[in-house]
Each structure stands twice: as C-alpha cells, then as structure tokens.
Amino acid sequence: MKQDLGLYDYWPYENRPKIRWPGGAKLAFWVAPNIEYYELDPPQNPFRTAWPQPIPAIPGYSIRDYGNRVGHVRQMQLLNKYGIRGSVSLSTALCDHHPEIIKQCRDLDWEFFSHGIYNTRYTYGMTEDQEREMIRDSIESIFKHTNQKCAGYLAPALSHSELTLDLFAEVGTELFGNDAGIYTCDLFHDDQPTPIHLRSKKRFVSIPYSLEMNDTIAYVSNKIEPRRYGQILKDNFDQLYKEGDNSGTVMCIPTHNYQISCPHRMKSYEEALEYITGHSDVWVTTGREIAEYYLEHYYDDAVRDIAGKQECKS
C-alpha cells in the first residue's frame, strides 16, 4: 500500500487560470443519477460484504429495487421538467435486466457512464486483468445498448484499486481512442476539473462529483433531514456560483433513485433544482460535456500552472 497514489499535484485554490464555461457561464451544473443493480445473492468478495444480514437481505435489496421500479421515472420526469439531461452512473448489467430504463434515458438524450457491472461486485481483490476485463465489459455494454462511447467512470460502489483510473483510460483508448475514457468521478479533492496523472500520459481529467451533495451520503451516512438537504444544495450552489465570478466552478448532484425519489424527499429536491436552474450564467450540462470543454480549452493551461506551483513561490 502507498501513502498517496500520485494521481494529481497540489494546486492551491487561488490565482488559477480563469475558466469561463460556454456562453460565459460561471458555474457548470450537472446531475448524475446512479442507476444501479444490486444482486440478491452476489458472490463473496474477500474484502467487503454486500449485505449486513444473511442472504436474502430483504431490507437493503428491496429498497434498491424500489429505485428502479418506482423512483427512476419520478426523477427522470423531474429533471426533464427543469431541462436537465441526466449523466447516468450506470451499473451496466442494468442494460440486460431493465432495458426499458435505458430506452427512456436514451429518448431524452441522456448520457451514460460506467459504474461497473453490478454495484455488488467490488474492485477489491481483483487482479489487474480482472479489473481490466470488468471495465471493458462495462464500456462495451454501454456502446452496445446506447451507441455511446463511455467518457466517464465511477468505480462500482466506490471500490478502487491502485490502477483503476489507468485501466479505465487505457481500455477507453483501446476501444474508442480519445472519445472514451476521458474523465473520472472518483476523486473529491476539488471544485474544478483537474488534470490526472496516468501511466499512459493520456489527457484525462477529474470532474467534480460531490460526495457531500450525494443524496445517499446525505441521507444514509449523514442522516440529513430532507428539507435541510434541499437547503444544503442551495447553499452549495450559492457559494460556487459566487466564486464562479473569479473562475468557473462545477456543481454536481449525484443521486440515487431509491433515496431522492422517495415521496418525502421529492419536494425539497425539486425546490433546489428550480432555484439552481432559475439563475442566469449557469451551464446546465453533462459530465462528458464538461470534460471535453475543459480538455479543449483549459487543460493545457492548468498543467502549466500546476507545474509552476510545485515550488514554494508566493
């Protein structure tokens, strides 16, 4: 085990090259619904157990199934109402289990990125070849079912290896060149995109995917009350919007249909979406669009700026 994986360099949040999003926008806003499949009886992983009770773990399994049976359509219709195209963090086995959901998202021109095969298959303990095969399977599944060349990655259940980002970028290149494997959502170190070091030297970025705004982290880990969650979303937006005067920021709301789409949580979510999309100078966009725009316009400046700040100069 290493003290640090060296994925990115220290880069202070002041005097960075100025970012302006398309149309002069100050803030890039994207919503990433996780559309996941959890297995009732997954194989045992040596480092992490899927369910707290002996199989069948009805409480955990059934509420996640609620997300697909009930929650998905609710959130999809809500996002559509506010002109938001979802960037779907997809358990790609869902293409096989629930193709109806894939079709509905495709019909709205939503984007899909890889979130592994199942959210009950963890990266822990996989060999490099196994992880590469899993990632390849997921990217191929997305292409087969949506015709999209998968741009982004969020490791299944946030389970990583030391090589996760390298492998994702490499498999993306092997399959689709620079059209696939260009960004990761796995890192929470910044409010702006940042260049990531890979062994392949591929141009690759981290796109902010806030763990703090993540509904499951908010509701399940932090046990936040629904109306307060709505206020937190607005507060997060207000600050990033204000800072966007200096240089463009990114706000992401990562969601799960088994959390956000419960009847007692929809109102505060809708109020936050209405508030955010009601502002001018907000670029309502997707993960791929942010990554591509940044790679084209700001990546090289950022790399130069970061290099210049690795020595102690104030």
Partner 1 sequence: MSTNKNYLKYPHRSLGMDHSLYKWSMLDDRPPIQWPNGKKLALWINISLQFFPLNQQNKPFPVPGGMTMPYPDLRHYTLRDYGNRIGIYRFFDALDQYGMQSSIAMNTLVAKRYPYLLNKVIERGHEIICHGDHMDALHYGGQPIEEEAALVQKSLDELRQLSGQPVKGWISPAKNESHNTPQLLAANGIEYFCDWVNDDMPYEFYTDEGVLTAMPLSTELEDKFILMNNLHSESSYKDQIIDACDFLLEEASTKGGRILALNLHPWLLGQPHRIHILEQVFEYLSSKKDIWSANPMEIVRVFKS
**5, 8, 20, 40: which one contacts partner 1 (CB under 8 A)?**
40
Residues 6+ apart with CB under 8 A from 289: none
Instruction: Decide: is 62 part of the binding site for partner 1 (CB under 8 A).
Output: yes
**13, 15, 24, 55: which one contacts partner 1 (CB under 8 A)?**
55
Q: Return the number of the residue (57 or 303) whose C-beta is nearest partner 1.
A: 57
**Does residue 22 have a cis peptide bond before it, meaning omega lies within 30 degrees of 0?**
no
Evaluate whether 112 touches 146 at the Cβ level (below 8 Å): yes
Instruction: Decide: is 257 part of the binding site for partner 1 (CB under 8 A).
Output: no
Q: Return the number of the residue (190 or 225) whose C-beta is nearest partner 1.
A: 225
Radius of gyration of the chain (CA): 19
In angstroms, what is the minimal distance from the CB of 275 to partner 1? 17
Instruction: Decide: is 279 part of the binding site for partner 1 (CB under 8 A).
Output: no
Instruction: Decide: is 140 part of the binding site for partner 1 (CB under 8 A).
Output: no
Helices and strands in the chain: count of H runs, count of E runs: 11, 9
Instruction: Decide: is 189 part of the binding site for partner 1 (CB under 8 A).
Output: no
Q: Return the number of the residue (61 or 237) whose C-beta is nearest partner 1.
A: 61
Q: Hey, how many other C-beta atoms are within 10 angstroms of the C-beta on 160?
A: 18
SS (H, E, C) 148-179: CCCCEECCHHHCCCCCHHHHHHHHHHHHHHHH
Among 215, 230, 239, 237, CA closest to 283: 237
Q: For binding to partner 1 (CB under 8 A), which residues are involved?
A: 37, 39-41, 43, 45-47, 52-59, 61-66, 68-70, 72-74, 93, 96-101, 117-118, 121, 124-127, 130, 133-134, 137, 219, 223, 225-228, 262-268
